[in-house]
């Protein structure tokens, strides 16, 4: 499927393939493009390759063939390119992955100081702004173990945002949270979407998808089954498999 | 549950069983047994204990102050050798662990070779090899040979401990550091090693204690450490039993002090994750 590469595309994925050791084909000739400021939600059954796709976007997983271009930079073996992309793409994990031996504030300032080479004061100022934005500035000197899951995930979002990325990837960011905490994290994500951040989210939260996504991609067995706007998706899906999946989760 | 014995008798025994008095009684019986065992067995030896002779070999004093006796001087040598070797072993161990974990083929080969040769030969042989064979070739003196042998030997074991600690850090930490754009150095320095070292303090302490005890072997190449000094004093005075007990106690004090310090550090830098 040829991609029409528009000027406004920030991510261009062309026919990527990924097979895991053991022969499992995670991604098969997968292609897509994502515009600046677009919020794309990726849904699909377990094992469909959606997390793998996300992790390929910032280089956590290596592709076997095909190409990924992010903000004009080709994701290849060149160290310089990889580093640029890692700086421009932020990721939020299902398991938060905060650094337990550092306070919340230190978690958020670390990469700013080490990678962006900011001064202590500048990093601290930015960190406090971001913590305030996600609603946990009063916990700045606490350790991650002292926070609830929802609070930890919000710190993780602030930490990723501190690098001022152009794209934010969310890998099932709310799947490990207790139901009453999902809302607070989704609120932060919705705010982010409304502010114009380019986001790619793997999620099961259909309410979130309907509310803020520009496009929904449904994947199965490493391939795209259907792509469309949220409206189209939830009111008039075309493919049978899409309809089946939606009936199971909605 | 079977029919219980007379309730009142049962509860009186249970109460005593669980009280501190029971523990004290148990302990006292144990101590009495040990002391009785030692006193009857040493009586049979017919040895003339002269404990009063010992203190002069640790230190002496007159009008002008305290003077170190041979045992004290030996202790200082032991501490110096152990101290320097501990630091070197730590550095060698950490470097080797990082080599083992690196993507460089050459680094892995070097680390593997080092580990296999050092771990499969006795320390005493390595000590002799370095002093008698490498010493003249490289022009290194006695002390340096001893420190080198100890550091290399303990470093090999330390490196496996470090590697275990590093590998035990969850993948999520690596992935988070990667996603933030942190360099390999920063990832190790800021994220992985601080967490890994806290986890491996117990086995590292054991290794440090091993090192201090293994330092006694340097007496075989005529370095006047604690063990060598003890041998020298025994040769003059034949106070064999008293001296060896004393020297063992001195090593014990050093290693227990180290354990206490490390325990305190562990407590202070505890990470809840």
* β-pair partners for A64: none
* CA-wise closest residue to B54 among B38, B42, B70: B70
Smallest Cβ–Cβ distance between A110 and the set B173, B190, B195 belongs to B190
Q: Exposed, middle or buried by CB within 10 Å (0-12, 13-18, 19+), for A236? A: exposed
CB-CB under 8 Å, B182 with A111: yes
**For residue B227, what are the CA distances in angstroms to B122, B189, B219?**
19, 39, 6
Per-residue pLDDT in tens (0 to 9) along chain B, 273 residues: 555 555 566 688 888 888 888 888 899 999 999 989 988 887 887 777 888 888 888 877 666 677 888 889 999 999 999 999 999 999 999 999 999 999 899 999 999 999 999 999 999 999 999 999 999 999 899 999 999 999 999 999 999 999 999 999 999 999 999 999 999 999 999 999 999 998 999 999 999 999 999 999 999 998 999 999 999 999 998 888 888 989 999 999 999 999 999 988 888 877 654
Question: How far is A17 from A250, CA to CA, in rounded Å?
Answer: 30
Task: Kindly give the pairing relationship between strand A89-92 and strand B59-62.
Answer: unpaired
DSSP string, B123-168: HHHHHHIIIIIIHHHHT--HHHHHHHHHHHHHHHHHHHHHHHHHHT
- Give the C-alpha separation, B252 to B262, whole Å: 15
Q: Which of A90, A93, A101 lies nearest to residue B172, judging by beta carbons?
A: A93
B179 contacts on A by Cβ (under 8 Å): 58, 60, 86, 89-91, 160
pLDDT of residue B269: 75
Closest in B181, B195, B271 to A83, CB measured: B181
pLDDT of residue A1: 37
Q: Which residues of A touch B194 (CB under 8 A)?
A: 101
**Using the beta-carbon criterion (under 8 Å), do A60 and B176 form an inter-chain contact?**
no
pLDDT tens per residue, range A138-179: 999 999 999 999 999 999 999 999 999 999 999 999 999 998
What predicted TM-score, i.e. pTM, was given to this entire model? Answer: 0.84
Residues of chain A with pLDDT > 90, as a percent, come to 70
| Strand order through the sheet with A223-228 | A89-92, A167-171, A198-202, A39-43, A215-220, A223-228
Contact A233, A216 (CB under 8 A): yes
- pLDDT score of A2: 44
- Evaluate whether B134 touches B225 at the Cβ level (below 8 Å): no
Q: Identify the three-state secondary structure at position A230.
A: helix
Residue A206: what pLDDT?
85
CB-CB: which of B173, B181, B195 is closest to A115? Answer: B181
Residue A37 structure tokens: 């400021």
Average pLDDT for A117-131 = 94
Residues 6+ apart with CB under 8 A from A136: A104, A147, A151, A154, A155, A158
> What six digits make up the tokens of B166?
């590093």
pLDDT tens-digit readout, A80-99 = 889 999 999 999 999 999 99
Are the Cβ atoms of A101 and B180 closer than 8 angstroms? no
Tell me which residue of B153, B154, B161 sits closest to B100, measured CA to CA.
B161
| Global ipTM | 0.92
Check A115 against B182: CB less than 8 A apart: yes
Contact A48, A221 (CB under 8 A): yes
**How far is C-alpha A57 from the chain's CA centre?**
9
Quickly state the pLDDT bin for A102 (edges 50, 70, 90): very high
The burial of B156, by beta-carbon neighbours within 10 Å (0-12 exposed, 13-18 middle, 19 or more buried), is given as buried
How far is A99 from A145, CA to CA, in rounded Å? 10
């Amino acid at each position: 499927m040829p991609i029409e590469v528009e000027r406004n595309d920030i991510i261009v994925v062309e026919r990527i393939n990924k097979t895991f050791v053991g022969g499992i084909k995670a991604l098969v000739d997968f292609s897509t493009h994502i515009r600046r400021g677009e919020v794309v939600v990726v849904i699909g059954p377990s094992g469909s390759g959606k997390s793998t796709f996300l992790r390929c976007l910032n280089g956590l997983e290596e592709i076997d063939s095909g190409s990924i271009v992010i903000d004009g930079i080709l994701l290849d073996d060149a160290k310089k390119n990889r580093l640029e992309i890692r700086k421009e793409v932020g990721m939020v994990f299902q398991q938060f992955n905060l650094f337990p031996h550092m306070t919340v504030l230190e978690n958020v300032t670390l990469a700013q100081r080490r990678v962006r080479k900011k001064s202590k004061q500048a990093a601290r100022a930015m960190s406090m702004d971001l913590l305030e934005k996600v609603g946990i500035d009063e916990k700045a000197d606490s350790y991650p173990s002292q926070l609830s899951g929802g609070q930890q995930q919000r710190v993780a979002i602030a930490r990723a945002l501190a690098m001022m990325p152009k794209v934010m990837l969310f890998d099932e960011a709310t799947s490990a949270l207790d139901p009453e905490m999902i809302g607070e994290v989704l609120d932060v994500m919705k705010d982010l979407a409304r502010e114009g951040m380019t986001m790619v989210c793997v999620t099961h939260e259909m309410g979130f998808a309907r509310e803020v996504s520009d496009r929904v991609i449904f994947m199965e067995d490493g391939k795209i089954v259907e792509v469309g706007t949220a409206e189209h998706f939830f009111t008039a899906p075309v493919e049978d498999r899409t309809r089946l999946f939606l009936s199971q989760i909605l | 549950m079977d029919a219980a014995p007379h309730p009142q008798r049962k509860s009186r025994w249970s109460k005593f069983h669980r009280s501190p008095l029971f523990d004290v009684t148990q302990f006292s019986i144990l101590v009495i047994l040990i002391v009785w065992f030692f006193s009857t067995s040493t009586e049979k030896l017919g040895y003339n204990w002269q404990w009063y002779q010992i203190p002069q070999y640790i230190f002496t004093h007159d009008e002008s102050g305290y003077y170190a006796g041979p045992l004290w001087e030996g202790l200082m040598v032991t501490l110096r050798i152990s101290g320097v070797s501990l630091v070197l072993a730590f550095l060698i161990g950490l470097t080797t662990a990082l080599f083992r974990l690196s993507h460089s083929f050459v680094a892995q080969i070097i680390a593997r070779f080092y580990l296999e040769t050092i771990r499969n030969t006795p320390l005493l042989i390595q000590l002799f090899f370095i002093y008698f064979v490498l010493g003249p070739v490289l022009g290194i003196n006695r002390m340096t040979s001893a420190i080198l042998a100890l550091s290399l030997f303990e470093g090999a074991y330390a490196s496996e401990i470090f590697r275990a600690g590093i590998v035990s850090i969850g993948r999520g930490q690596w992935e988070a550091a990667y996603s933030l754009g942190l360099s390999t150095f920063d990832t190790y320095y800021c994220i992985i090693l601080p967490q890994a070292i806290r986890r491996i303090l117990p086995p590292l302490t054991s290794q440090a204690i091993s090192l201090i005890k293994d330092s006694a072997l340097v007496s075989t190449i005529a370095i006047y450490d604690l063990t060598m000094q003890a041998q020298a004093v025994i040769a003059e005075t034949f106070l064999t039993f008293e001296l060896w007990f004393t020297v063992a106690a001195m090593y014990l004090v050093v290693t227990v002090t180290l354990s206490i310090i490390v325990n305190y550090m562990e407590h202070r830098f505890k990470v809840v994750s």
